[in-house]
Amino acid sequence: MFWRSIPEIILPVPLLNMICTNVMGSPTPLYAAGRRMLAAYPQVPTGYDLGVGCAVHSYNGKLFFGLIADTHAAPDVDRLRDFVALSFQELRRSAALKKARGMEHAKSAAGQEKEQAAEPVQAVAPQPATAETVPMSVAASAVKHGKEAA
């Protein structure tokens, strides 16, 4: 009920100016007229005082991003695109590191099980967690964009 009356309300500043959404798509390929769909790009329509629409859609094991902006409300939407791309690269690297650590842990656990059968178990002190290092090119880019955003 409230949302229907928003266009009638006169506010000194817009109630909102950006919508972000994610939509889960088909995990398997889809076909139409015997042809395989290769990509599915999402769209969030803009209207009223809405300046930017950002959407993420998954399809067939891939993610597709859609950014739509009103040039008057967001003349620098290309910066948002760059920030999204940089953040997604960081997320992928982080997920790859976590997956690699998980595989190493599984291998070492399997090796320890074999060793445990041969010799008695000994207590081992836990190793302190270490911070992962970020490549210099990513760090420099993040600093550059961070200064721009400030």
Candidates 99, 84, 28; CA nearest to 61 is: 28
Q: What is the pTM of this model?
A: 0.54
pLDDT tens column, 6-21: 566 666 666 678 888 8
Domain parsing of the chain, residue ranges = 12-73, 76-115+140-150
pLDDT tens column, 21-47: 898 999 999 999 999 999 999 988 887
Residue with tokens 């040039």: 71
For 51, other C-beta atoms within 10 Å of its C-beta total 20
